[in-house]
Homo-oligomer: A and B are copies of this chain.
Amino acid sequence: MNLGCLYGVGLGPGDPDLVTIKAVRVLESAPVVAFFAKTGRQGNARTIAERWISATARELPLHYPVTTEIPVSDPAYNQMLRDFYEGATGMLAAELAAGRDVALLAEGDPLFYGSFMHLYVRLRERFPVTIVPGVTGMAGCWAAAGETMTWGDDIMTILPGTLPQDALVDRLRNTDAAVIMKVGRNFAKVRRALQDSGHYERAIYVERGTMSGEKVMKLSEKLDDSAPYFAIVLVAGQGRRP
């Protein structure tokens, strides 16, 4: 029997029109569509893909056992996630072994901070895989902000807000452009790191970029320190420009 193909389908930053033609073709033809979601939620990826999924597709939701209820440093978190990814791998492997293609949805790009990768590395030796790259969440945010991110020979550094403050300051001092991801609970620390590294005045805060409820403002004009997990801070480069 022929094996099914695993498609890692990048869905872009949130606006369903920022899905690629290739992703639409996969979604229209895949007999099985799998996606990650919080228990009780549909999940962002499934929401973006809504209008493109075939009416005859079988949906396979993969519900995270935990998201932010347990700190990631807790060994129990790691064990639960490992069990979850192993279980999801088994479910997808059964479909693929039966010859059915599976489209596994990924917000943004599948190979850039995505849950997709946890199943991909477990399945790629056994089954054919096609990666459909997507517009990253950060590119959606800088488009929403209209920020010219990198010019000429600019260096760009992408930093998770989870890093210690000293590490953030050090990396920010050694780059021309920066994107700080996972701002959420790290907001106050991220703000201090930008102040200490001299980038504060040109930092831009973006929430829900390209989606309804989008917010774009100068970080210095955002007075409170509360932000959703996926909020992003941008520092645009200022390199060579004739």
Contacts and interface: CB of A to CB of B under 8 A. Distances in A.
Interface of A: 10, 12-13, 15-22, 24-25, 72, 77-79, 81-82, 85, 109-113, 117-118, 120-121, 124, 129, 131-136, 139-140, 142-144, 146-160, 162-163, 170-171, 174-175, 210, 240-242
A162 B155 contact: no
B160 A154 contact: yes
B149 A72 contact: no
Nearest to A131: B143
Contact of A20 (B17, B85, B241): B17
A109 B135 contact: yes
Contacts of A118: 241-242
B171 A160 contact: no
A151 to B, nearest CB: 7
A156 B155 contact: no
A15 B3 CA distance: 26
Nearest to A153: B160
Given A12-B20, A110-B143, A133-B140, 8 more contacts: A10-B135, A12-B133, A16-B21, A21-B24, A109-B135, A111-B150, A153-B162, A157-B157
Contacts of A242: 77-79, 81-82, 85, 118
Contacts of A142: 111-112, 133
21 contacts: A13-B133, A17-B20, A18-B133, A19-B20, A21-B24, A77-B242, A85-B242, A109-B139, A111-B139, A111-B143, A111-B146, A112-B149, A113-B150, A118-B241, A133-B210, A134-B139, A153-B163, A155-B159, A155-B160, A157-B175, A174-B174
